[in-house]
Amino acid sequence: MSGKVYLTGAGPGDPELLTIKARRAIRQADVILYDHLVNEEILKEAKAGVLLIYVGKEDRRHTMPQEEINAKLHEYALKYPKVVRLKGGDPLVFGRGGEEALFLAKNGIAFEFIPGISSAIAVPTYAGIPLTHRGINTSFRVMTGHQAACHKCGKDHGFDAGVLRENETLVILMGLHGLEKIIASLVKNGASPSTPCAIIENGTMPTQKCVTATLATIVEASIVMNSPAIVVVGETIGLQEQLQWFGV
C-alpha cells in the first residue's frame, strides 16, 4: 500500500495565517517537500525525525526541475504513509499543484488538497489595499507575471496582461521581474497611465514594504523593491492612506 500526498498551502508568509488543517498535516508528515516561499518558522511545526527536502524555485534558479519533484513525490509516497508537498500561498493558485496531482493520479498515488490563504488576497490586505470596495470596483483579477509558452503550440506569444476594466483591481503575482512588459501591455490595451499602481514586497512579514505610484511612474519607483513582491493595479489603491494598519 502506498502512502498519501497532501498538496498543502502554507499561506502568504505570516506563520499565524497557516490553517489548522495545514498545521495538522505538517505535524503528522513523514516527509515534507517545501518551496522557497515557505516561512521556515512553519517547518518548526514538524515532528522530530521528519525528512525535510527543499525543492524551491527562485527567479531564474530552480533547485529541482518540476519533473524531478513529481518523481520525488511518487518515490516517497511508496515509502512513507504521509508526504506533505508544502507550497507558499495556495497550491492551486499558480502553485502547479494541479500538475502534481495529475501526475500522482496517473501513477495511482492518493492525494489531497489542503487550501492555503493566497498572497493574492492576503498581501494587499496587509498593505491596506482592498481588492473590492463598494462604489469603486466590482471585481478583481489575479494573474501571473511569468508568461509560459503556449501549452498547445509550445510557442512564446509574448506577454499580454489583457484589458484592465474600469471596475477591476488587478493583482499580478511574481510581477516584479517583468514589470516593464506588464505595464506596457496594460497601457497598450487601453489602461490610463494615471491608473494607481502598488508594489508590495515581503507581504504579511515584518519586513513588508510597499511603494505606490501610477502606471506611468511605477517602473521608476520599483528600483528600491525586491522579490518576492506582487503588483496591484486599480483605483482601490487610493484607499491605502486611510486603511493602512499593519506595522503602523
Distances (CA, A) of 177 to 8, 108, 146, 150, 222: 26, 38, 9, 20, 10
Active site residue 143: no
Q: Which of 143, 174, 205, 225 is catalytic?
A: 174
Q: How many CB atoms lie within 10 A of CB 132?
A: 14
| Adjacent-strand bridge partners of 196 | 214
CB 64 within 8 Å of CB 58? no
> Can you tell me the distance from the alpha carbon of 26 to that of 43, in angstroms, rounded to the nearest whole number?
8
CB 243 within 8 A of CB 125: no
Which among 235, 237, 3, 25 has a CA at the least distance from the CA of 109?
Answer: 3
Say whether 57 is catalytic. Answer: yes
Check residue 144 and report its DSSP letter: E
Task: Answer whether 32's CB lies under 8 Å from 92's CB.
Answer: no
**How far, in Å, CA of 85 to CA of 98, rounded?**
12
Query: Which residue of the set 4, 21, 57, 72 is catalytic?
Result: 57
Task: Please identify which of the residues 35, 82, 143, 225 carries the catalytic annotation.
Answer: 35
Question: Which residues, 6+ apart, have CB-to-CB distance to 23 below 8 Å?
Answer: 45
Verify whether residue 174 is a known catalytic residue.
Answer: yes
The label of the residue with cell 502554507 reads: 10
Q: Give the helix/strand (H/E) hosting 243.
A: helix 240-243
Q: Give the catalytic positions in this structure.
A: 35, 57, 174
